[in-house]
Structure 1
C-alpha cells in the first residue's frame, strides 16, 4: 500500500533534518512501487526543514498545549495594545516573555535528549518563530501544525503580521508526538536513482517560491486595500473638520460684526447721553437765573407799594 501523504508528512517533519531526505526518498520509492505517482510527487515536493524549523516542529509535537496557546495569547496582546490597557499589556507582556523563555528552554532540552546541541542562532530562529506566532494567527496555526520548513519571522508590532509561513502543507491539525507513526515504515535504504532528481527538486523549489510570491502579493494587496480605506476615512474626517472650521470661522465673523455694531451703537448713545446731560445742566442754570430775576422783580414791586 502506498504511504499516506499526511501520515508521511507528520513522520518526516518529526525527523532531524539529516534524516529527512533519506526517509523521504524511501517513502517516494514505496509510493512508486505501488504505482501511486501522485503520492510520490506530493512526497517528493516536501521540503527539508531548516534546523530552526525542525526545533519548532519538535516543540509543537512535544508541547502541543503550550504551542497551541500562542494564538490566544497573541490575540490578547493585540487587544490590550489596541485598547491601550497599560496594566493588561504589562501583565501579558510579562506572560509572553516567560512563555517564550520556557518554550525555548523546553526545546533545547528536547534537542539535547536527541543528542543535538542548539546554538544561539538556532535558538533565535525559534524565538522569532514564537514571536511570529504571537503576532499572526496564521503563523500560530502553521507553527502548531508542526510542519514548518523554515523559521518564521515576526513583523513590526503585534498587528504588523509575520512573513508567510512555509510549511510542509497538509491539514492544519495537531501533529502526533515523534515516533508515533501508526504504520510501519518501509525498510531504510540509501537514496537511489529512483529518488527525486535534480529537476524535480528545482521544480518543487520554484513551486514553493511561486506560492510564497503569490502569498506576498495577496498580502500586499490586502495591505494596499486597507491603506486605501484608511486614507478614504482620513479624507472624510479632514473634509468634515474643514467644514466644521469654516462654520466656526463664519460664526466668529458674525459675532465680530455684531460686536462692532454694538460698540458703534454704544459710542453713539454715549455721545447722545453726554449732550443731553450738558443741555440739562444749561437748562438748570437758566432756570436758576430766571428764578433770581423773578425774585428781584417781585422785591422791586413791593418797594413801590
Structure 2
C-alpha cells in the first residue's frame, strides 16, 4: 500500500505529556509515526511529527478537526500539512546596484540548493538587468525617487508573481510598514555588520573607524524597526587594524554577504526557521522530513 505522508506541527508552552498525548492519539487512529523531532526553546515546546496516513481509521476532515481540538485542550497550536499540498516556494530578489548577493543566490538556485525558485528580480535601478537576464529571470525596475509610487509598484509586482519570500539582496531602501506587515516573517535582509552593532548606514566604515578587530554580516527578518528584526545567520571576518583600509574591510565583508543571505534563504525554503518573540528557532527535523517524504 502506498504511503500518504503528512507533517503534524505542534507549538506551545512547554508542559508534560505532550508527545505522549499526540502519539497515543495517532496510534488509536491507526496512523503510523515515521519520524519525530522535538525541542524546547525559552519555554516553548516545538514538535514536528512525520506520519503515514495510508491506513488511518478516520477521514481527513475528522483528523484535522480532532487535531485542532486536541491542541486547544492543552493550549497548543497544531498544523497538519500534507506532502502533496506542498509546492515550491516563489522567491523575489530585490536589488539596487551591487551584484554579489544576487550572483550567489542565482548560483545556489541553479545548482539545486533551493527548495523553491527565484521567479523575478525587482530593483530601483537598471544596473543588474543583465545579471538577471543571463540567468533567464525577468527583471523589472522603477526609480525609488518617488517612494510611495515605487513601493506601490513593488507590492503590485510581488502580488503578480505570487511571491512567498522576498530577499533583499543589497536593496538599499527602507521597507515601508505596509509591506512589512503584509510579508511578515517573509522578508530577509542582509546587513553588513554583526547586529546589533553598527546598524544603519556605512557599517563597515563604522567598524573600521572604531578600530574593531572582528566584524561581519547578519541575515535577519525585516521588521518595522530598522535593522532590529530577528537574526537568522551571522558570519565574521577579521580586520587587520592599522593595515586594512576601509575599502579592504568592505571587500572582505562582501565576500561573506552573498553566502550568508543565500544560506538564510535556503533555510527558509527548507522550512527550518520558526520566528517567535523576536527570535528565530531552527527546526532541522522538518527539512529532514521533507527529504524523507520525497524518497
Question: What's the TM-score once normalised by structure 1's chain length?
Answer: 0.21
Question: What's the TM-score once normalised by structure 2's chain length?
Answer: 0.21
Higher relative contact order (Cα pairs below 8 Å, separated by 6+ residues): 1
Q: Rg larger in 1 or in 2?
A: 1
More strand by share: 2
More helix by share: 1
